[in-house]
Amino acid sequence: MKKLVKIPKDAEIPLVGLIQIGIIDRGTNLLQIRPTSICNLNCPFCSTDSGPFSKFHKTEYTVELNYLVDWIKELIKFKGRIHAFIDSVGEPLTYKKIVELVQEISAMEVESIALETNGTLLTQNLVDQLEEVGLQRINLSIHSLNENLAKRLAGDESYDVKKVLEIAKYISESKIELLVTPVWIPGLNDEEIPKIIEFVKSINRNKKWPFLGIQKYEIHKFGRKVRNVKALSWWKFFRKIEEWEKRFKVKLRIKPEDFGIKKTRIYPIVFEKGEKTRVKVLAPGWMEKEMIATAKNRSLTVVNCEAEVGDEIKVKILRNKHNLYIAEKI
């Protein structure tokens, strides 16, 4: 059974440095805000191996609202106006204070607030609440309109695509803009993508942002892989996207600029690759033989690490890209 690590302010776990929780700054005016790592589905193509039946992850995380808000304010103070994107390695709507989080961000000077979801936990009442507190866009994952295939692609027999489609219609009639983001899995849901395009075209009311964004199926080392399905090259993927664009007369190849995203200065990177330093272990890691440690007001994932919470250990920095720190115990 997985452990659940709750991260309050007094846990002293900095919310910059980890992929699975906190805030990620990739050097643009968009911040990825990750309040939880928990997911309620078990999608067979999941790039992060999330959900109840995860093979690799031994720990889940959730961050105390006020602590997360403090860190968001800290990064906005450094970066200026940003696009706030609430996402997750799991499902953001498993975060119990999602409405309060959106409300807090809305009170800050931000360009926009968006949220991604698989839609299963959305209700009309929740959409109304999110609209009221200032959410501007929902990125909704729908991978098939066929009931049986949709259940298979959710990895959950309780998945109800009809309910998700109804909530998609409800969102489109609200002030919140809707971006539907299916993952195209070659050989599995090829025939479903055109149906999804037609459905979303029929309900689209967007005035500011694109309403469709087809995602490329990718294979990751610690993600799930669909049996007998190979990832396409980007050239083949975009060639098919162009075919669908011509067929349905709709823009499908979306870019960061379509959402007002541009490069900005990145929150200071405090460790150099190859650097050796001492860190304090604060919590169990996301995977086996991993621990979360801290130094210089950043969090690090320490791999190949068997240590106890509270230990001070020496590590070598293996990765520092985008302030996401991977280190190895030495």
What's the pLDDT score for residue 1?
72
The answer to whether the CB of 34 falls within 8 A of the CB of 88 is: yes
Rounded Cα gap, residues 307 and 299, in angstroms: 16
Domain boundaries of the chain, sorted by first residue: 3-259, 276-329
Q: How confident is the model at residue 307, as a pLDDT?
A: 92
User: What residue type is 218 in one-letter code?
Assistant: E
- Fill in the DSSP letter of residue 97: T
**Residues paired with 4 in a beta bridge:** 60
pLDDT value at residue 68 = 98
Q: What is the chain's pLDDT, residue by residue, as a tens digit (330 residues)?
A: 789 999 998 989 999 999 999 999 999 999 999 999 999 999 999 999 999 999 999 999 999 999 999 999 999 999 999 999 999 999 999 999 999 999 999 999 899 999 999 999 999 999 999 999 999 999 999 999 999 999 999 999 999 999 999 999 999 999 999 999 999 999 999 999 999 999 999 999 999 999 999 999 999 989 999 999 999 999 999 999 999 999 999 999 999 999 999 999 999 999 999 999 999 999 999 999 999 999 999 999 999 998 999 999 999 999 999 999 999 999
Listed in sequence order, the DSSP H helices in 189-252 are 192-203, 234-248
Domain over 276-329 is classified CATH 3.40.50.300? no
SS3 label, residue 313: strand
Residue whose C-alpha is closest to residue 167's, from 205, 128, 198, 115: 128
Can you give the C-alpha Rg of the chain in angstroms?
20
CA-CA distance, 15 to 9, in Å (whole number)? 10
- 58, 1 Cβ separation under 8 angstroms: no
User: Could you tell me which CATH number the domain at 3-259 has?
Assistant: 3.20.20.70
